[in-house]
């Protein structure tokens, strides 16, 4: 099993607030997908099989929570779908008329499955609960339900992409630790209305069995939880290659 990633650098044409950056980058990526007929990935219901990190801020940006215009910022896109990554490697740099940013570098890398000891979320992990709300300690606090939904989401992604079932004996999560004190969020705008997806930052220790390791690898490949095409659930991994 492999996943594919693009390590990119974007030149920001204007100042950009942290909370606006996920939506603007998501729209930039989806626009570039449409240029080569990959837009059906966004149009169809179901999993998109890709995830992206946010821009990596510079030290001086953090206090203001704003990315500066006229500066380069790195970000990463990952996917199980090599065709999608190959398409974006070209079209991301062709979108020169975007008013907010321009991708000036996009380097492809192939990562083969390796043994994963820990996962860390770099962007908020979004998990839906009842009544249109999202999992937080205040809204739910049910850790068992959280682990169940995270596992089921990854299992469905695997089965949908590879077309085969997994023989699951246990939840892929051995340990989960919440790293944020207050809920994190991703802001988007739909039909003129602002919508916030609330989530959390986690440290996850996966189990060592074969199925758990496959699901941990899928977590790196296309994100944990929901709203991955908006940047939710982008994970960093530690392990033995």
Q: 180-189 pLDDT, tens per residue?
A: 989 999 999 9
pLDDT range class, residue 42, cuts 50, 70, 90: very low
% the chain with pLDDT above 70: 96
Q: What is the per-residue pLDDT for 140?
A: 83
Asked if pLDDT for residue 43 goes beyond 60, the answer is no
Q: What is the mean pLDDT of residues 88-93?
A: 94
Query: Cα–Cα distances in Å, from 148 out to 44, 61, 84, 103, 173?
Result: 25, 37, 29, 37, 9
- Cβ atoms of 24 and 98 closer than 8 Å: no
As a whole number, mean pLDDT of residues 40-50 equals 67
More confident residue, 99 or 241: 99
Over range 188-210, report the average pLDDT.
94
167-181 per-position pLDDT tens digit: 999 999 999 999 998
Instruction: Read off the pTM.
Output: 0.94
pLDDT at 44: 54
């Amino acid at each position: 099993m492999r996943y594919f990633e693009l390590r990119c650098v974007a030149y920001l044409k204007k100042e950009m607030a942290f909370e606006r950056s996920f939506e603007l980058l998501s729209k930039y990526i989806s626009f570039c997908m449409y240029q080569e007929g990959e837009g059906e990935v966004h149009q169809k219901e179901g999993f998109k099989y890709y995830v992206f990190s946010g821009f990596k801020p510079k030290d001086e940006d953090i206090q203001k929570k704003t990315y500066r215009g006229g500066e380069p910022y790195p970000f990463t896109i990952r996917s199980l779908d090599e065709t999608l990554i190959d398409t974006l490697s070209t079209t991301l740099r062709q979108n020169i008329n975007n008013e907010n940013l321009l991708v000036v570098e996009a380097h492809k890398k192939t990562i083969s499955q390796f043994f994963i000891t820990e996962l860390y979320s770099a962007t908020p992990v979004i998990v839906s609960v009842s009544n249109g709300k999202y999992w937080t300690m205040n809204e739910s606090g049910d850790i068992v339900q959280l682990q169940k939904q995270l596992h089921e989401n990854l299992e469905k992604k695997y089965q949908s992409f590879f077309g085969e079932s997994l023989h699951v004996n246990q939840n892929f999560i051995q340990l989960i630790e919440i790293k944020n004190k207050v809920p994190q969020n991703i802001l988007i705008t739909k039909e003129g209305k602002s919508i916030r997806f609330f989530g959390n930052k986690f440290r996850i220790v996966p189990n060592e069995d074969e199925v758990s390791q496959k699901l941990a690898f899928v977590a790196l490949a296309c994100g944990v939880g929901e709203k991955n095409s908006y940047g939710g659930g982008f994970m960093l991994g530690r392990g033995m290659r």
